[in-house]
């Protein structure tokens, strides 16, 4: 049977991908962040699963605001990095896992989640930057991926609790997959940031750290936050954090926090990353 081994949460700041792609990680602005990511990368080297379910958001790159599904699962054989206006990132294509993705969809739909299915979506920085955070610049990515896109940009959005419950349904789906594969799950986006409007540049370390603490010790606390709570406390784009609840919902009640990094600023955001092993 398949086994869910661990979850990761990470921000997806596009500038971080650009720093990697353009060889700037040793420059003063980036150096301490990338040094801080070393233990995370070493953990990934030692703990690469067969497939990673990557819960991410598209930034109106692939999906138009005219038609944005709440939850979309990618069933493609492979996925290309998206062109976000200045050409696609020069990173390897992502290999999908259609058989596992379809199993996941069937199981989660039987659990009353009505998912959209997409066989050919290109993946923007919300997806490729977390891969670069974990794996650096390999000639091919070391795991297959199943993209799960969450609408965090076109209201109405799914609630923080709904995201957690989706994660629980994904956890059930993993447990019932007959092949002996190892599976990881990532929640991406955040942490606190706001990219426009009067409060542009807002970051809130106290809120972010409490969210990270709760992720480990009291995950239901993070399901009681409303979208307004996220936007007030963590800025408009801080609401991306609801995707971390999908990751946490898939893990069991007991997790061990293996790694945490919190770094301000990265671009206009607070960068956060966490690894939780399933016990
Ligand atoms: C930035 C952060 C994001 O999460 C994003 O999607 C786009 C830009 C930024 O800080 O620059
Ligand atoms: Fe974003």
- The beta-strand segments (E) located in 132-172 are 144-150
Predicted local distance difference test score (pLDDT) of residue 268: 92
Residues 6+ apart with CB under 8 A from 35: none
Predicted local distance difference test score (pLDDT) of residue 206: 98
For ligand 1, atom 6: residue with the closest CA:
13
- What residues flank ligand 1, with Cβ below 6 Å? 12-15, 59, 193, 195, 237, 267-269
Is the CB of residue 34 less than 8 Å from the CB of residue 15? no
Predicted local distance difference test score (pLDDT) of residue 6: 98
Q: Tell which atom from ligand 1 comes closest to the C-alpha of 189.
A: 4
Q: Tell which atom from ligand 1 comes closest to the C-alpha of 266.
A: 10
The CATH code of the domain at 3-278 is: 3.40.830.10
Q: Tell me the per-residue pLDDT of 71-122, one tens digit each, with 9 for 90 and over.
A: 999 999 999 999 999 999 999 999 999 999 999 999 999 999 999 999 999 9
Q: Tell me the per-residue pLDDT of 204-220, one tens digit each, with 9 for 90 and over.
A: 999 999 999 999 999 99
Which letter does DSSP use for residue 22 in this model?
T
Structural domain boundaries in the chain: 3-278
Put simply, whether the predicted model's pTM sits higher than 0.85 gets the answer: yes
Q: Report the separation in Å between the CA atom of 194 and the middle of ligand 1, taken as the mean of its atom positions.
A: 8
Confidence of residue 251 (pLDDT cuts 50, 70, 90): very high
Q: For the chain, how many helices (H) and strands (E)?
A: 9, 10
For residues 232-237, average pLDDT: 97
Strand pairing report for 3-10 and 269-278: antiparallel
For residues 167-174, average pLDDT: 98
Model confidence at 41: pLDDT above 90? yes
pLDDT averaged over the chain?
97
Mutate to test the pocket of ligand 1, among 267, 271, 272 (most ligand atoms within 8 A of CB): 267
Predicted local distance difference test score (pLDDT) of residue 174: 98
Predicted local distance difference test score (pLDDT) of residue 252: 87
Confidence of residue 189 (pLDDT cuts 50, 70, 90): very high
Model confidence at 256: pLDDT above 90? yes
Q: Which residues are catalytic?
A: 125, 193
For ligand 1, atom 11: residue with the closest CA:
267
Nearest Cα neighbor of 203 from 238, 153, 243, 245 is 238
Confidence of residue 261 (pLDDT cuts 50, 70, 90): very high
């Amino acid at each position: 049977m398949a086994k869910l081994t661990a979850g990761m949460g990470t921000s997806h700041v596009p500038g971080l991908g650009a720093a990697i792609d353009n060889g700037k990680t040793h420059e003063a602005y980036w150096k301490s962040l990338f040094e801080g990511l070393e233990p995370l990368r070493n953990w990934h080297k030692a703990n690469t699963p067969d497939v990673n379910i990557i819960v991410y958001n598209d930034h109106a790159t692939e999906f138009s605001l005219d038609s944005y599904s709440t939850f979309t699962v990618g069933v493609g054989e492979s996925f290309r990095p998206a062109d976000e206006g200045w050409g696609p990132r020069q990173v390897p294509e992502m290999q999908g896992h259609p058989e596992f993705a379809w199993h996941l969809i069937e199981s989660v739909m039987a659990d009353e989640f009505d998912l959209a299915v997409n066989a050919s979506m290109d993946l923007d920085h919300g997806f490729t930057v977390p891969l670069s955070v974990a794996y650096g610049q390999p000639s091919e990515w070391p795991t297959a991926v199943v993209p799960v896109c969450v609408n965090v940009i076109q209201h109405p959005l799914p609630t923080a609790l709904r995201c957690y419950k989706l994660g629980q349904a994904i956890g059930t789906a993993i447990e019932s997959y007959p092949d002996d594969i190892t599976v990881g799950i990532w929640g991406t986006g955040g942490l606190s940031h706001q990219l426009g409007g009067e409060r542009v540049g807002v970051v809130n370390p106290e809120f972010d750290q409490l969210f990270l603490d709760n992720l480990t010790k009291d995950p239901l606390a993070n399901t009681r936050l409303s979208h307004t709570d996220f936007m007030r406390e963590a800025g408009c784009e801080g609401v991306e954090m609801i995707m971390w609840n999908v990751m946490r919902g898939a893990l069991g009640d007991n997790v061990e926090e293996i790694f945490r990094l919190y770094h301000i600023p990265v671009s206009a955001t607070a960068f956060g990353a966490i690894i939780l092993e399933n016990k």
